[in-house]
């Protein structure tokens, strides 16, 4: 082969050697696998934002950007709910060990990111909130009275009726407790202190409202309100089963 031909052959071989690793339109670098994603923003937007809101608020689920919620719940509880889901709610398991898509490192990144973005010192203004975990020995009768006295003026008139079977079917006792204690400032829900939020926040009580409470709920009040709502949920579930019983019994023997 002539020298010129050898030169052209070398150029062609070099081009093929460089280009054979990817077809036209193929990205220059291999795409990152889902399990390799480690930054909080991407993990949150892909796994959490649909329910908890794009910025941790104004979603269908609890307000994660609420500093009071971040101060109330510890890292272990956050990992538990993200990993295994929260029974009694639409919160599903995300950990690979539980059938989800996230690695343990990714769940740790979510927890660390929430703390960095939304945790604030002295979120409770120096007061000690009721404990996070919901006990199993609440007094539902007392809880009903506290609910009527302290909650019903909003939840049966201006805001969501949280005693409705449809709502209670989607929220667990622990989630109810978290919302009662920490509130939901994104929708104007006051915390356990029953104090008015910052002026101008959407959903807050109007300045001329007489339905303002400044005496905080006690830990027992919170426990008993949740016990009352749980009683309503169970009663609704029993009623639904009773109403469907004739139709089910009519199919017996088919």
User: pTM of the prediction?
Assistant: 0.75
Find the domain containing 208 and state its range: 140-243
Nearby residues of 95 by Cβ (< 8 Å), 6 or more positions away = 82, 83, 84, 102, 104, 107
Bigger pLDDT: 249 vs 29 = 29
- Residues 146 and 234 placed together within one structural domain of the fold: yes
Q: Is 17 contained in some domain?
A: no
Let me know: does 158 contact 152? Beta carbons within 8 Å.
Answer: no
Give how many domains the chain has, as a whole number: 2
Q: Is 23 contained in some domain?
A: no
Q: Is 113 contained in some domain?
A: yes
31-69 residue pLDDT tens: 778 889 999 999 999 999 999 999 999 999 999 999 999
- Residues 147 and 236 placed together within one structural domain of the fold: yes
Domain with residue 237: its CATH number is: 1.10.760
- Residues 58 and 108 placed together within one structural domain of the fold: yes
Tokens 């008993």 appear where?
224
Largest CA distance in the chain: 101
Instruction: Count the Cβ atoms, other than its own, within 10 Å of residue 147.
Output: 22
Lowest-pLDDT choice from 60-74, 112-126, 143-157, 195-209: 195-209
Let me know: does 182 contact 72? Beta carbons within 8 Å.
Answer: yes
């Amino acid at each position: 082969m002539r020298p010129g031909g050898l030169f052209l052959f070398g150029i062609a071989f070099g081009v093929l050697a460089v280009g054979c690793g990817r077809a036209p339109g193929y990205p220059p670098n291999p795409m990152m696998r889902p399990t390799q994603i480690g930054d909080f923003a991407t993990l949150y937007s892909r796994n959490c934002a649909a329910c908890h809101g794009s910025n941790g608020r104004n979603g269908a689920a609890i307000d994660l950007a609420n500093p009071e919620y971040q101060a109330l719940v510890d890292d272990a509880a956050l990992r538990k709910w993200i990993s295994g889901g929260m029974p009694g709610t639409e919160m599903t398991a995300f950990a690979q060990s539980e059938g989800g898509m996230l690695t343990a490192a990714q769940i740790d990144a979510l927890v660390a990111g929430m703390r960095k973005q939304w945790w604030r010192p002295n979120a409770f203004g120096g007061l000690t909130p009721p404990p996070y975990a919901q006990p199993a020995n609440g007094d539902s009768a007392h809880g009903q009275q506290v609910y009527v006295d302290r909650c019903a003026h909003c939840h049966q008139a201006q805001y969501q009726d949280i005693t409705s079977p449809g709502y209670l079917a989607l929220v667990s006792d622990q989630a109810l407790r978290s919302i009662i204690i920490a509130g939901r400032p994104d929708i104007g829900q006051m915390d356990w202190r029953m104090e008015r939020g910052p002026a101008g926040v959407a959903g807050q009580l109007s300045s001329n409202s007489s339905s303002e409470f400044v005496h905080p709920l006690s830990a027992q009040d919170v426990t008993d309100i949740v016990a009352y709502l749980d009683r309503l949920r169970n009663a609704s579930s029993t009623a639904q089963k009773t109403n469907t019983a004739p139709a089910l019994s009519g199919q017996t023997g088919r």
